[in-house]
Amino acid sequence: MEMALTDSLRQLAYAQAAAFVRTLDRRDPVALQRDWGLSPGVADEIVDMLDSYFAANEALSLAPLEQAFVPGKGGRPAVDVYATDAGPLGLECLLLADGKRGEATLHLEMSNHDGALRLHYHYIGS
């Protein structure tokens, strides 16, 4: 069932995505497994992917909430939350390194599970 995209739902999705990115910033595969239920192989792959895009000392983050949904160059916001035909929300989040736009985009999905949003990692790409 498709979720209606409201400002409140967009902000909840942003909060979960930001928490996930804070875990990514630690580049700790064990934390990804423990906190987000990822398999060891996926967690290791994510850390390797981050290393291919960012230097180890660069702090990863999302755009601040007040700027996250404002369209930027090319008309796309830094955090794009959208309803999908399959039901869950899709998210495309531009990852920032030390507060500056990078080329990596985090692709996530949020599903409604027993009345709560559940984050699902898809991939990081350019």
Digit-by-digit pLDDT tens for the chain (126 residues) are: 456 688 888 999 999 999 999 999 999 999 999 999 999 999 999 999 999 999 999 999 999 999 999 998 788 899 999 988 777 899 999 999 999 998 999 999 998 877 788 999 999 998
pTM: predicted TM-score of the whole model, two decimal places: 0.92
Q: Which tokens is 42 given?
A: 């996926």
Cβ-based neighbour number of residue 88 at 10 Å: 19
Asked if 105 contacts 124 with a C-beta cutoff of 8 angstroms, the reply is yes
Helix/strand/coil for 4? coil
> How far is residue 59 from each of residues 6, 10, 70, 101, 124, measured CA to CA in Å?
30, 24, 22, 12, 16
Angle, CA of 13, 120 and 71, to the nearest 5°? 40
